[in-house]
Amino acid sequence: MPAKAYLVYMTFSTSEEAERIGSILVEERLAACVNILPGMKSVYLWEGAMEKAEEVVMIAKTNLERTQELMGRVASLHSYACPCMLAIPVEQGYEPFLVWIHNSVR
């Protein structure tokens, strides 16, 4: 059985930023693949003020061993002072796909 897979959910200010960082993650084998979903609207409190923003979601597929390194790399490249990054463990999945993720990031 391959190492446990993780989905890392992240947000970005633009599609260009998400594509640039996503390409780096795949090239450096920190992610097997990334999905970029434009057109999200966010509403949140930041430094005491209500904010509304258009953002882009990226979901990176990786494994437990690469998750912290992936998030550190994103933090070093990201335009936000406090980027949204959430690592979500995959409880089940299609075994050949999980093996592909594992083989792609090791």
- Chain segment 52-84, per-residue pLDDT in tens: 999 999 999 999 999 999 999 999 999 999 999
Q: Is the pLDDT of residue 1 over 70?
A: no
Query: What is the pLDDT averaged over residues 4-11?
Result: 97
d(CA 70, CA 88): 13
Percent over 90 (pLDDT), the chain: 95
What is the per-residue pLDDT for 3?
72
User: CATH classification of 5-105, choosing from 3.40.50.720, 3.30.70.120, 3.40.47.10, 3.50.40.10?
Assistant: 3.30.70.120
d(CA 41, CA 1): 38
Residue whose C-alpha is closest to residue 33's, from 58, 3, 68: 58
What is the per-residue pLDDT for 106?
84
- Chain segment 16-32, per-residue pLDDT in tens: 999 999 999 999 999 99
